Chains A and B, each alone.
Chain A
Amino acid sequence: MSSAQKVIPIHPAPDAASDQEQALYEVRKKIYPRAVSGWFAKWRWALVWFTQLIFYGAPWLSWNDRQAVLFDLGARKFYIFGIVFWPQDFIYLAVLLVISAYSLFLFTAVAGRLWCGYACPQTVYTEIFLWVERVIEGDRIAQMRLDASPLSARKFGLKSAKHGVWIAISLWTGFTFVGYFTPIQELTREVVSSSLGPWEAFWLFFYGFATYGNAGWLREQVCKYMCPYARFQGVMFDRDTLVIAYDEERGEQRGSRSKKADPKALGLGDCVDCEICVQVCPTGIDIRKGQQYECIGCTACIDGCDQVMDKMGYARGLIRYASLNGVSQHLGWREMIRRVFRPRVMIYTAVLWAIIIAAGLSLWNRVPVKVDVIRDRATLSREVGDGLIENVYRLQIMNTQEKARELKISATGVDGLQLTGLPSPLALEPASTRMYTVTLRAPVTSAQKGSNRIMFHIEPATAEDDFALQEKSIFFK
């Protein structure tokens, strides 16, 4: 045994209780984005108008004497202009989601978070709510002063007015939302006569409340903490993706200076450190720190900075739309646009077009009639007189289009098979489903013992229609 034992020194761990308890997360400070005007702000507002005219306006359009866009959940039929979708068309909804996701990937790879900055409902409603806040409470400084001031009649009045307008917009949004599922004209009559159904009322208030909460209170927190896209959009980026970029090489060393001073003589870059870019940011970040997942690509900082550059007499574009390669390699617009056509973008585009074309073709070639054949469960088969065997079936026939049609239905598979129980021709009303009980009879001698494969043939009775449907079934002896 060795006498020289190894000694392991013991360091007491800091007493956990003596550590000051720290909050797990910093407390959210309210962001007061400064209003900004400029080229990009105009585009943002144009997109707000465009998307909201569609959202608020679409339910009021008519088509074939009904609402043009109506997701009639009660009747399990979706109407989108001339097309009627049935639960059997679920695949098209799935394809639509795939197309949306792929478009998002493509736009993100080309020019970053265009969706977030211009079209996401969270951005759009926040923009509208901020505008209301600005009109009622005044600009950024006035809002900060108002919030810091003690409660007074004036503060109470302004706050009530703001929340009143917000709630009105939210309720109108909720009403429009429900109007996509219940015919909006009917809904209007129900609201006016206060005879709104309980579920419609519930969804109107629920959606309205969500709008009010998200656009009025949560705002940038939705993008920062709740949005999954914000977290994974980075994987669609590369160094040639157009993003909101601060030209660090040109801007640094940042510092304030007089307009007349020569920055080079002072050893300064073009950034005057006015912090306008931080003040206008709806998520409260500093773009000069580089790419951050909180940046929703709204371009407010570009407009803000350009105005300062104009005032200073410097070139615009210290903060600009550019790719990371564009900034570091001093690429011009032409070169950056050329780099848009890179393999990643080409592959995204090719896949997207392939899906769109496949979905379009399948929709175009959709057979307008669907038929389900269900065997009668009560009796497999029975003998009737004259040496005949009888089987009973139920046919569910669906006319998926808003056009009346006439059908001829026959069955084959056993010699001498006769079909009865259907009018001929069979008239189907537009966009309707009918159930018919049908009997098939065949001579005992021609059918095999056990099951016989048979086929129902469904064809149009008029020349203007062109399709042929076949449905398999079994005839028992």
Chain B
Amino acid sequence: MGRYIMWVLWPSFIAAGMGVGIIFSLIDPTELVILGHPLHVSRTAVYTLGFFILWAICAAASALSCFLQATSHRDEGR
């Protein structure tokens, strides 16, 4: 189980870090408008929250990959 946690959390951590770097190089958080409301929080807050949201999404994808791989029939796709 511990190893699955590593396989899920670590690649998604790297992916989220790169994602946050790319997204917020192109977008200035102070110009963000979410559901019609401009954000009134510091950039650091948006970077941090953005990172964790991305990490969670990427982790979900990693977890699904792990799950599909672990539960596939042994003879298929190996």
Contacts and interface: CB of A to CB of B under 8 A. Distances in A.
B40 interface: no
B44 A199 contact: yes
Given A87-B26, A90-B26, A226-B10, A74 B3 contact: no
Contacts of A203: 48
Given A87-B25, A87-B28, A90-B26, A225 B44 contact: no
Contacts of A228: 11
A225 B8 CA distance: 11
B25 A221 contact: no
B3 A199 contact: no
Contact of B44 (A28, A73, A93, A218): A73
Interface string A162-202: 00000000000000000001000000000000000101101
A221 B11 CA distance: 15
Contacts of B45: 199
B71 interface: no
A412 B43 CA distance: 39
A73 B25 contact: no
A338 B19 CA distance: 42
B42 interface: yes
A313 to B, nearest CB: 45
- The secondary structure that dominates the A interface is helix
From B10, B26, B42, B44, name the one whose CB has the most chain A CB atoms within 10 angstroms: B44
Contacts of B33: none
B6 interface: yes
B42 A199 contact: yes
A475 B32 CA distance: 30
A225 B3 contact: yes
A76 interface: yes
A218 B2 CA distance: 11
Nearest to B11: A228
Nearest to A27: B2
Contact of B25 (A28, A90, A197): A90
A25 interface: yes
B7 A225 contact: yes
Interface in B1-34: 2-3, 6-7, 10-11, 21-22, 25-26, 28
Contacts of A200: 44
A440 B21 CA distance: 38
B43 A74 contact: yes
Nearest to B9: A226
Contact of B6 (A76, A197, A225): A225
A202 B6 contact: no
Contacts of B43: 73-74, 76
B6 A221 contact: yes
From A181, A226, A228, name the one whose CB has the most chain B CB atoms within 10 angstroms: A226
Interface in A36-78: 73-74, 76
A74 B10 contact: no
A130 B27 CA distance: 43
From A73, A93, A202, name the one whose CB has the most chain B CB atoms within 10 angstroms: A73
Contacts of B26: 87, 90
19 contacts: A25-B3, A28-B2, A73-B44, A74-B42, A74-B44, A76-B43, A87-B26, A87-B28, A90-B22, A90-B25, A90-B26, A93-B25, A181-B44, A197-B44, A199-B44, A200-B44, A203-B48, A225-B7, A226-B10
For the complex of A and B, 5 pairs with smallest distance between CB atoms: A90-B25, A199-B44, A226-B10, A226-B6, A87-B25
